[in-house]
Structure 1
Amino acid sequence: MSLVHQSAPRDAFAEASHFRSELYACLTARGDALFELCDALLCTEGPVRTLVDLALAPEHRRGHGALYGGLNQGQIDVARLRRALASVPLPRAADGRLVLAVDVSPWLRPDASTCADRAFCHTFGRGEGKHQMVPGWPYSIVAALESGRTSWTAVLDAVRLEPGADVAAVTTMQIREIVERLMDTGQWQPGDPEVLVVMDAGYDAPRIAHLLDGLPVQVLGRLRSDRVMRRPTPPRVYDPKGGRPPKHGDEFVFGDPTTWGTEQAVTVTDTRLYGKATAQAWDRLHPRLTRRAAWLDHDGPLPIIEGTVVRLAVEKLPSGGVNKVWLWWSETGAAPDDVDRCWQSFLRRFDLEHTFRLFKQTLGWTKPRLRSSEAADRWTWLVIAAFAQLRLARPLATDLRRPWEKPTQPNRLTPARVRRGFRNLRAKTGSPASAPKPTRPGPGRPLGSKNHRTATRYDVGRVLATGQAYTRPSHHKKGTKPRRST
């Protein structure tokens, strides 16, 4: 065996061991209980059904009271943990570029009236067009994407959205801090390709690109098919009647092919899953902004945010649906290689959905019935830290497949398969957590007594367009009769 093949597992083992030590240092209060809870999450067989079941794992040497005590009274140095996540090796695209995907995933708590800071989360029901707004905790998550067909991502950050939060402003601050950490840790250096941020149609991509001006970042977002863009301002022609020169050019209507004109670039690619994929690009298109919503308090004249519009059309879709997608890229002068990179990077954005499914269905991210939103944040960071350890252990894992499963190459193992053998890797790395001290359980509430301190009930946070909190009208409250006109 060559020295290169021998050093690769050693480097991966050193990275995993260093991250585990750094994770333990980030747990500033009740660190032993939180660290063993994270190990129990990684070593438990099968999906996590309830939180208290993790206390039965051999890796969790403490009682179930310590488990809940760590989440409720523990402390995590989130800033240091974010730097640790940005310091580990990150996946890159074929050209060495970092590709970040951002999306919001909800932790639904519809019946938890004693939980504060709940907001209405947009969810999809079972059925066509069944959009629902369910109370819960929405989290904005940013992850680095890999190239090729994979379900792996590198989650870098998570922020819980407060009720009435401006998603574009929170996402902008989140991406700005991530890029600055990547520059501080050496993941991005001057001369490297700019970081590409990919987002879905729920984000205002032109506004986010404007707010991120000055950073080595490119923004790629999906647009609705009913949007209207404007072309650059035409050259000014002398008009004897006078008047103000036009600020915007002709309209580019997505639903009207007669307004498209000549493309900047056209590419045709044969894909295995979608058949022939045709991408058309039009240069220097911008939305017409008005002083409302997010631009209501903008100082000075409204900006003109130019970019490239890409229309992707495929021959077939495996599960039906719309076979045309509109994208907006924050750069201009797109070449055919840039167009291909844009739509291929957008398709890789759906790998983040696999991460959300792993978090919720396998790691049990949304299974605990926690009352405090701060405890929910601690559990979220433990799940992210556990997933980061699975990614670092990926080169070291062996395929412990079920008898009915097909053999898989070591570098093609899914996160769930890597988790099956993490207990063997943990035995080699050890645990920095100290042994539990013998103690006795507290007396608790006397038998037969009632709990006279009932928990406070909270309404789901709703904020009006003016920024003020929503209050229910007096004639809608319980116990009041509606006013009748005479």
Structure 2
Amino acid sequence: MSLSHHAVRQDPFAGLSGFRGEFHSCLARRADALFELADAVLCAGGPVRSLVELSLVGEHRRGHGGLYDALAAGRADVARLRRALATVSLPRAADGRLALAADITCWLRPSAHTSPQRILCHTYGRGKDQHIPVPGWPYSMIRALETGRSSWTAPLDALRLAPGDDAATVTARQMRELVGRLIEAGQWKDGDPQILIVVDAGYDVPRLAFLLKDLPVQVLGRMRSDRVLRRAVPPREPGVRGRPPRHGGEFVFGDPATWNTPDAQTVTATRLHGTATARAWDRLHPRLTHRSAWTAQLGALPVIEGTVIRLQAEHLPSGATPKPVWLWWPGTDATPAGIDLLWQAFLRRFDIEHTFRLFKQTLGWTCPKIRTPEAADRWTWLIIAAFTQLRLARPLAADLRRPWETPSPPDGLTPARVRRDFRHIRPKAACPARAPKSSHPGPGRPPGRKNTRPTPRHDIHTVRKTDAAKPKAKKSTTPRPRRTG
């Protein structure tokens, strides 16, 4: 079932009803129970704290046993659901192009010893300058970004990282399949601006751009402030013998003496951060080596040239001086207008943090104590489908604000405020779920009989278990070497 962009724009109820019908068709087993579970997430009176409380929501007409059985034994056609998400009308960036943001967020399960495929996830903000690894399930999510200040994004794909997966390789494969679905759905056509992919410093941006170089996309990402890039090789003087060099002089992010004059510079006045100065240097590339992810590269390692943008804001809203932001873009010869569009598009990447917070704190994505990763994937796609319904109901919702909240314009409602009114919107949209049939609970285990099938326990996946047996080396007092790659 294809959703028309014009139908969504002219009749929001038709777009919402069409997606709800397609979402129900994507549920292959326990379809009605899973569909009503998503409605219970949207119609609950407050934040979702546990699964069993969702069975008390009026829109969920089944018992708590059917709720757990739907997550444990249900089945969803994820491929069809991905195609349905790609056909929904998507937001655009300021220049009219599609802007996709990829990031990894973790479902922490530190005490789930019976849950397989857990990985040590790096957590931030749990202590001063401490990055504590916590066992959990990391998910790579891709979302379409809007222009301007907004907490809305359009979720398009989610993929759980299995033990041993490389983030850049998995994201490149995930992005390649998503771009193919967007082209098939007519979201991008020949002659349109290239799709902009925005990532943070956790990704190897040059490698991601190299893996996606055959697609109509451009990758924009942040680099660490301790990186060292190389300039292009200068023209060779006549009469010089020997092997020609592959790399020019160094460009050290932390050493202004190596920067030289920027190729372009812009100064923009912002509302919260004062004057924002962006300086760009053209044709800079990392010096790759035969190690880690580039080990399998055949022949000579590529030279991936791009543009480095240094963004420096005047002050933070608190008055402190912020650290500069270093961006890398695989294009060359960027104009001042293009540089402004790039760094402003990167700042829109932080909108996905609002969506992650809504997923976890309001919709209860990480609240259930689910045992199997397959059930976790099923619950993740239910949350994505529920949030998509919120986005489609955005022009239909009324502002049911609290007495202490300020009024918002009709087009400025946040996802949480749209969710407050979804219970009144739902009766006017299609509801393909059938009424439940009467049933009786099973007998269960006879009283007094012990469980003869204990649940197996699973170890946490680590990169190398042999390294843990080695004696811990003493902490080095020498400064950390520069990141030349």
Same fold judged by TM-score > 0.5?
Answer: yes
Which position in structure 2 is the counterpart of 1:313? 312
Aligned partners of 1:9 and 1:444: how far apart in 2? 51
> Residue 407 and residue 9 in structure 1: after superposition, are their counterparts in 2 closer, same or farther (change >3 A)?
farther
8 Å Cα contact 1:117/1:137 also seen in 2: yes
Aligned partners of 1:33 and 1:17: how far apart in 2? 18
Measure how far apart 1:472 and its partner are: 6.2
Which position in structure 1 is the counterpart of 2:146? 146
> Residue 148 and residue 475 in structure 1: after superposition, are their counterparts in 2 closer, same or farther (change >3 A)?
closer
> Residue 32 and residue 461 in structure 1: after superposition, are their counterparts in 2 closer, same or farther (change >3 A)?
same
Question: For 2:445, what is the secondary structure of its paired residue?
Answer: coil
Which position in structure 2 is the counterpart of 1:164? 164
Cα deviation digits, residues 236-262 of structure 1 (max 9, x gap): 22345x211111111111111111112
Cα deviation digits, residues 263-302 of structure 1 (max 9, x gap): 1110000000110000000001000000001111111110
Which position in structure 2 is the counterpart of 1:400? 400
How many residues are paired up? 465
Which position in structure 2 is the counterpart of 1:179? 179
Cα deviation digits, residues 299-320 of structure 1 (max 9, x gap): 1110000000000001101254
Q: Give the share of equivalent positions with the same residue, in percent.
A: 63
Which position in structure 2 is the counterpart of 1:13? 13
Which position in structure 2 is the counterpart of 1:129? 129
Q: Following superposition of structure 1 onto structure 2, how do residues 72-471 of structure 1 map, counting pairs within 5 Å?
A: 72-239=72-239, 242-319=241-318, 320=320, 322-464=322-464
Aligned partners of 1:331 and 1:41: how far apart in 2? 43
Measure how far apart 1:430 and its partner are: 3.6
Cα deviation digits, residues 388-408 of structure 1 (max 9, x gap): 000000000000111111111
Cα deviation digits, residues 52-82 of structure 1 (max 9, x gap): 1001111111111111111111111001101
> Residue 322 and residue 71 in structure 1: after superposition, are their counterparts in 2 closer, same or farther (change >3 A)?
same
Question: For 1:154, what is the secondary structure of its paired residue?
Answer: strand
One-letter identity of the residue aligned with 1:271: T
One-letter identity of the residue aligned with 2:175: I
8 Å Cα contact 2:267/2:275 also seen in 1: yes
Cα deviation digits, residues 347-382 of structure 1 (max 9, x gap): 110000000000000000000000000000000000
Measure how far apart 1:10 and its partner are: 5.0
Aligned partners of 1:107 and 1:45: how far apart in 2? 24
Structure 1 portions without partners, runs of 5+: 1-6, 477-486
Measure how far apart 1:386 and its partner are: 0.3
Aligned partners of 1:256 and 1:130: how far apart in 2? 26
Measure how far apart 1:345 and its partner are: 0.8
8 Å Cα contact 1:316/1:323 also seen in 2: no
8 Å Cα contact 2:314/2:321 also seen in 1: no
Aligned partners of 1:167 and 1:8: how far apart in 2? 35
Question: For 1:56, what is the secondary structure of its paired residue?
Answer: coil
Aligned partners of 2:342 and 2:38: how far apart in 1? 37
8 Å Cα contact 1:9/1:396 also seen in 2: no
Aligned partners of 2:295 and 2:57: how far apart in 1? 54
Aligned partners of 1:453 and 1:92: how far apart in 2? 53
Cα deviation digits, residues 166-202 of structure 1 (max 9, x gap): 0000000011111111100000001111000001001
Question: For 2:340, what is the secondary structure of its paired residue?
Answer: helix
8 Å Cα contact 2:126/2:132 also seen in 1: no
One-letter identity of the residue aligned with 1:306: E
Measure how far apart 1:155 and its partner are: 0.5
> Residue 276 and residue 41 in structure 1: after superposition, are their counterparts in 2 closer, same or farther (change >3 A)?
same
User: What is the aligned-residue RMSD (CA, Å)?
Assistant: 1.6
Measure how far apart 1:446 and its partner are: 1.5
Measure how far apart 1:126 and its partner are: 3.1
Measure how far apart 1:331 and its partner are: 0.7
Aligned partners of 1:436 and 1:348: how far apart in 2? 44
Structure 2 portions without partners, runs of 5+: 1-6, 473-485
Aligned partners of 2:9 and 2:238: how far apart in 1? 71
Aligned partners of 1:66 and 1:302: how far apart in 2? 55
Which position in structure 2 is the counterpart of 1:41? 41
Measure how far apart 1:9 and its partner are: 7.3
8 Å Cα contact 1:308/1:331 also seen in 2: yes
Measure how far apart 1:475 and its partner are: 11
One-letter identity of the residue aligned with 2:225: S
> Residue 352 and residue 63 in structure 1: after superposition, are their counterparts in 2 closer, same or farther (change >3 A)?
same
Measure how far apart 1:336 and its partner are: 0.6
Question: For 1:229, what is the secondary structure of its paired residue?
Answer: strand
> Residue 211 and residue 426 in structure 1: after superposition, are their counterparts in 2 closer, same or farther (change >3 A)?
same
Which position in structure 2 is the counterpart of 1:3? none
Aligned partners of 1:292 and 1:182: how far apart in 2? 34
Measure how far apart 1:163 and its partner are: 1.4
Which position in structure 1 is the counterpart of 2:481? none
8 Å Cα contact 2:8/2:14 also seen in 1: no
One-letter identity of the residue aligned with 2:250: E
> Residue 321 and residue 315 in structure 1: after superposition, are their counterparts in 2 closer, same or farther (change >3 A)?
closer
One-letter identity of the residue aligned with 2:102: V
Aligned partners of 1:52 and 1:331: how far apart in 2? 51
8 Å Cα contact 1:103/1:141 also seen in 2: yes
Aligned partners of 1:475 and 1:104: how far apart in 2? 32
8 Å Cα contact 1:284/1:308 also seen in 2: yes
Measure how far apart 1:338 and its partner are: 1.0
Measure how far apart 1:471 and its partner are: 8.4
